[in-house]
Amino acid sequence: MSLLSVSGLCVSLGGRPVLKGVSLDVAPGEFVGLIGPNGAGKSTLLRAALGLVRGDGRILINGNETLSIRQRARHAAYLPQERDIAWPVSVEMLVSLGRAPYGTAFSRPDAEDMKAIDRAMQRMEISAFRDRPATELSGGEKARVLIARVLAQEAPLLLADEPTAGLDPSHQIASMRVFADLASEGRAVVASMHDLGLAARWCSRLILLDRGIIIADGPPRAVLTAGRLRAIYGVEAYLGEAMGGMVIQPMDVVAADAADHEDKE
Amino acid sequence: MSDLARYRLVLAVLALATLILFLLSLTVGPAAIGFGDSLSALFSEKRDAIALIMREIRLPRALLGLMIGATLGLSGAVLQGWLRNPLAEPGLLGVSASASLGAVIAIYSGLSAAFALGLPLAALAGAVLAVLVVQAMAGLRGGALTIILSGVAVSAFAGAMTSLALNLSPNPFAALEIMFWMLGSLTDRSMTHVWLAAPFMLAGWAMLASLGRSLDALTLGNDAAVSMGVDVRRVQFLAVFGTAASVGAATAVAGAIGFVGLVVPHVLRPLVGARPSRLLPASALGGASMLLAADILVRIIAPGRDLKLGVLTAIVGAPFFLWLVYRTRRQLP
């Protein structure tokens, strides 16, 4: 059974249609990269899947259409693009927020919660600064702390909005590996991203979105073709193979008339 | 020392301070009664003058100081956590200004002179009206920003109507009474005021105190909080109505007392590791301590001159707040 099933999803924001009939299924074990140019509707798709914006269409999380807010939090975790932390709380406390869906209003974290928190901090390599105020961390460290918070939620489905933005190369790769590991454990990850190289190398499946429509959906090699990159992103890219995986590097912007020509074909 | 141990120590110290200040408040006053005598009179069977002063004058005053201070501290902490803004304070929703307007109308129309509870009841009605307008403006789809803006508009309108009442006041004494009432005070309140305010305050506290976990999650913003199972509509409802009930009742019996709800959460936030849920009980105790201390000071500084409580909290609170801003300006965005 799929962990996330979206069919015929249409969303309008401020009267402007952002998603125009999107359908997709995400099964356990998949690490889906959601790619597409700015304004394609990636963030809106993630937010709509969680009910954060209203839309028309069917959305099933773990086969269920009518989950309460609290039940949904146990089935799906979400890393928003916004990385604002309002108060100078400690890193450990921030990560422990991921356990919120499990306790009651006044309960303290139990042994299982503590284990989940520790696991998440180890995975993101932030145990060393667990006592520091989260607001004083660098952008990349903050991003890792926020990813750890989502991991601590230990939901079967993880939706992440540009999780690797602002990370150094080694932590970008480490984060992608964590997501891939989660998928191999039988969970599913859907991450929107702009780094096509990372997406091609680590995701098991890519969904290319443009102007609210899914253009392509499949394994990275099938989705990322030179023609699509030219037509959708307007870039000329180098596509190759190295170290047992796909390499993709955008080289230059396609001249305007050339892109038009591609569209007409 | 672990995080939790430090938090418990902070709560214990604040609780002790509140208790001491409450007892001091019971024993300070123009009638020079000894500490032991006054406390024993409170619990004795005798009906002499000392017992009368203690039960009818000082006990309600100390109780109201405790309750109102806790109300302001708690609702200030909740509103700051909910709006994710350290400048939020209980007056933001327009409740205080509207409750004041209700009281002013009661004084102006003679309702307050006609029967004893006319003034607080009119003030409560003002608070109810304000929260209904603010909530109706926000509606089902409105968010925190709509609430703030509506609150500002309601405050401005209530302020304007209060000015109009002063402007058209038939005699200078009525105007003076209105002015003095608005300064905020706990002088000459009776147990009737306590019984009137208590149910609203208890209901408000229950609503506000239930928000701790949700406010923690809101540290990461609205979307993240929803994805962690927080019902933000419920949070908004409880924050608005909890504040309206408790702060409305506080204003109804004591007038508008500023700065407590703004400064106390600020001062205590670093001591509880900035965690919004931990700030709630700390801020309630801190607010009670601050208001009791201020009410003791007005009696010591100028006995017989009836220095108003709201004046003192503003005189001490405003420069203190400036100092806080100065100290933390590097952390501000």
Distance, in Å, from the CA atom of A168 to the CA atom of B331, rounded to the nearest integer, reads 25
Cα B152 from chain centroid (whole Å): 18
Q: Which of B217, B226, B331 sits opposite A52 (nearest CB)?
A: B226
User: CA geometry: angle at A33 spanning A127 and A21, to 5°?
Assistant: 130
Q: Do A47 and B223 touch (CB under 8 A)?
A: yes
| pLDDT score at B24 | 94
Q: Say whether residue B227 is in contact with chain A using an 8 A CB cutoff.
A: yes
| pLDDT score at A105 | 58
Confidence tier at B49 by pLDDT (50, 70, 90): confident
Confidence tier at B333 by pLDDT (50, 70, 90): low
Mention every residue, 6+ apart, whose C-beta is less than 8 A from residue B223.
A47, A52, A78, A80, A82
Distances (CA, A) of B149 to A128, B240, B327: 43, 13, 29
Point out which residues pair with A250 in neighbouring strands. A237
Domains of chain B in sequence order: 3-328 (1.10.3470.10)
A214-247 residues labelled b (16+ CB within 10 A) or e (exposed): bbbbeebeebbeeebbbbbbbbebeeeeeeeebe
Distance, in Å, from the CA atom of A73 to the CA atom of B226, rounded to the nearest integer, reads 8
Distance, in Å, from the CA atom of B241 to the CA atom of B207, rounded to the nearest integer, reads 8
| pLDDT score at A222 | 94
Per-residue pLDDT, averaged over B262-282, amounts to 94
- Indicate which of B223, B234, B275, B283 best probes the interface with A, i.e. most A CBs within 10 Å of its own CB: B223
| pLDDT score at B331 | 62
Mean pLDDT, chain A, as a whole number?
A: 91
pLDDT in tens, B199-236: 999 999 999 999 999 999 999 999 999 999 999 989 99
Chain B stretch 154-193, residues whose beta carbon is closer than 8 A to a beta carbon of chain A: none
| pLDDT score at B332 | 58
| pLDDT score at A264 | 44
Query: What length does chain B have?
Result: 333
Domains of chain A in sequence order: 4-224 (3.40.50.300), 225-265 (no CATH)
Per-residue pLDDT, averaged over A201-211, amounts to 96
Q: Do B275 and A133 touch (CB under 8 A)?
A: no
Q: Say whether residue B233 is in contact with chain A using an 8 A CB cutoff.
A: no
Q: Which of A51, A74, A85 sits opposite B219 (nearest CB)?
A: A85
pLDDT in tens, B1-21: 578 899 999 999 999 999 999
Confirm if A79 and A160 have CB atoms less than 8 A apart.
yes
Q: Do A103 and B274 touch (CB under 8 A)?
A: no
Nearest to B168 by CA among B94, B254, B96, B107: B107
Q: Burial level of B12, CB count in 10 A (0-12/13-18/19+)?
A: exposed
| pLDDT score at B32 | 73
Structure tokens at B30: 């123009």
What is the H or E stretch that residue A143 is in? helix A139-152
Q: Do A97 and B275 touch (CB under 8 A)?
A: no
| pLDDT score at A265 | 42
Helix axes A139-152, A111-123, angle to 10 degrees: 140
| pLDDT score at A126 | 95
pLDDT in tens, A94-112: 999 999 888 765 667 788 8
Q: Is the pLDDT of residue B311 over 70?
A: yes
| pLDDT score at A260 | 53
Q: Do B227 and A77 touch (CB under 8 A)?
A: yes
| pLDDT score at A66 | 85
Other CB atoms within 10 A of residue A132 CB: 16
Identify the contact set of chain A against chain B, taking CB-CB distances under 8 A. 47, 50-52, 69-74, 76-80, 82, 84-90, 93-94, 97-98, 100-101, 103, 105-106, 133, 135, 146, 149, 153
Mention every residue, 6+ apart, whose C-beta is less than 8 A from residue B7.
B272, B273, B278, B282
Confirm if A173 and A181 have CB atoms less than 8 A apart.
no
Confirm if B102 and B157 have CB atoms less than 8 A apart.
no
Q: Which of B219, B223, B273 sits opposite A86 (nearest CB)?
A: B219
What is the H or E stretch that residue B209 is in? helix B191-209
| pLDDT score at B321 | 83
Mention every residue, 6+ apart, whose C-beta is less than 8 A from residue A229.
A196, A235, A236, A237, A250
What's the complex ipTM? 0.90
Q: Write the DSSP symbol of residue B141.
A: T
Nearest to A187 by CA among A25, A30, A24, A2: A30
Q: Say whether residue B283 is in contact with chain A using an 8 A CB cutoff.
A: no
Q: Is the pLDDT of residue A169 over 60?
A: yes
Q: Is the pLDDT of residue A220 over 90?
A: yes
CA atoms in the 13 A half-sphere facing the CB of A133? 16
Tell me the chain A residues in contact with residue B221 when contact means C-beta distances shorter than 8 Å: 80, 82, 84, 86
Confirm if B288 and B160 have CB atoms less than 8 A apart.
no
Whole-angstrom Cα Rg for chain A: 19
Instruction: Report the relative pairing of strands A235-242 and A56-61 from DSSP bridges.
Output: unpaired
CA atoms in the 13 A half-sphere facing the CB of B310? 19
Per-residue pLDDT, averaged over B134-142, amounts to 78
Nearest to B316 by CA among B285, B290, B282: B290
Confidence tier at B107 by pLDDT (50, 70, 90): confident
Q: For B11, phi and psi rounded to 5 degrees?
A: -65, -40
Q: Say whether residue B209 is in contact with chain A using an 8 A CB cutoff.
A: no
